[in-house]
Structure 1
């Protein structure tokens, strides 16, 4: 006799930038309903939209499984998996894609399964059955490190603020500053407190950010120039920013290196 867990529907979130692909998944799920009960709670066209959907529906029925394409605009399925791993309730991941060159990476990301399009009913049922038996979520730190290696850097950084997950676009960050065990990311609009380290960020984005001193990285595109400090102190010089009136200190050790990297 099947257990209650085996008969209760799995709550799903479908994530694919192709509407027809989502329609096909819904059709397959309806066909499988007698032997594999599921309930589609929502749909999203990319990873960002999926995270927004989860935020907007927090407190409602939790998502058990996310079926996500890998190649999507704005945020792909691999990066989505990394952000999901940081949530309090981590859904299982099943990747659906037209390409077979990410299978190894998908399983390294602790995905339940990896389905090639066009998805077949038998394979989908097998993947959902595995998801039903699997409950522990993937390790967020391992996903972050692996995601960095696979994609050359995340497009968004997570900021947990007042019980919500905010996503900071890396392209909008003007600088990072370290403060105790946290790092502050500054955009034109505001500051975000991140659970990151400067060393990790410097390694993840070597082409985008320049080290100014042990406590700061600045975006190359945000630099307006450099000036020498007028008095002795912690700063040997200052980095001038294009969009903010404030200056960032540059250490003696990093002065020549930062200027050379910036082409100054």
Structure 2
């Protein structure tokens, strides 16, 4: 299981968001990295922050929780979903979207703890399956050959125009494979999106330097140049790096 379970809370009512965030924050394994007050905002923040789990209200204006869940299932990194609502009528439909649980307002401490326990077990089980099934080598197909790379040897990956470049220990390879596809393949390893065009191996991070407008520069062991961290990813990156 990840050192911290990253949580996004979605509810159009401020009081409900604050209450749930307060209750979730009491568990040291959970880290609430963001909140959203609408379905549209929830999807944008899910893409930017890459949470492990999203707690979603069902009844919201314009785009309801079920519609949000349907959209989330189309993302490359699909978060776990927990519905948190005052309406019991949608429970059956909720589990069509692979929901971990269906919490009813007002929140009951015991019920919430049972949900968190269920969530942790689901994550732990899936993480174990990934370790057992992920390939030991990353296959990069070139014009005339297939190159196999140990993911642990990769420093970072970046996209430049229509070419993706993989930089590692004593090598640099090019591929036409989209960055999002590589991110999906490398999900079982310690890779993190720091910019729309950059993916880094967190095992090599040595220093994070404040830059301007909330952005940072990142130093990696064995690499001279500094990498830019977009402010949209900075907070989530710090949460991943820090104890």
TM-score by length of 1: 0.45
Tell which structure's C-alpha radius of gyration is larger: 1
TM-score by length of 2: 0.49
